[in-house]
Amino acid sequence: MRAYAAARLSDRPSVQEGSALTDRLDDALAAKIVQSLRSRRHHFMVRRRGTLHAVDMFLSHSNAAQAQADALALRIVELQGEPGFTPSMLNREGDDSFESYYVVDMAREDLEAARKINRIFHEILLSIGPNDPATRRLILGILNKDKVRSKELSALMASLGRVS
């Protein structure tokens, strides 16, 4: 969690609850929670197939996504908003599938979801510009870690003989 240190007071813009920024951060929070749950499911599903390198990778991805969700929730609170953390919030991400059976399909599912989440983050970056350095640092840090995870998922797919 230290990678996403709390913003200094001078970095906090005046934002009201329900603002466009806190709404978009809440969307990102929902996406990260769903990502964490998906990767956690994949971790357990892969365990029974004996693909040990994928077991550890999916668990690591789940833990990282949860840490990022926590950091987003903290930022929403710092901006005087309230993070969703409700089932209805998670339903916004309801078009995501958790139905993959094969390891390569699980990796592809995670990769596609990561691309979707990255689009949300890029939209937030475009909307805030240089006006909110704390949120910008948080999102850029998440995007950098997500890039590493995407490379790991691509490498897993390649090792299993299929690349998207």
Q: Where in the sequence is the domain holding 136, given as residue range(s)?
A: 18-159
Residue 53 lies in a domain: yes
Q: How far apart are CA 6 and CA 22, in angstroms?
A: 16
Count of domains in the chain? Answer: 1
CATH of the domain at 105: 1.20.1260.10
Does a structural domain hold residue 5? no
- Residues of the chain with pLDDT > 90, as a percent, come to 63
7-41 pLDDT, tens digit each = 443 344 444 545 889 999 999 999 999 999 999 99
Q: What is the pTM of this model?
A: 0.82
Q: Is residue 3 part of a domain?
A: no
Q: Is 6 inside any structural domain?
A: no
Helix (H) / strand (E) element for 63: namely helix 52-78
Task: Map tokens 């409700």 to a residue.
Answer: 86
How many residues are listed for the chain in this entry?
164
> What are 123's two structure tokens?
């939209």
Distance CA 26, CA 6 (A): 17
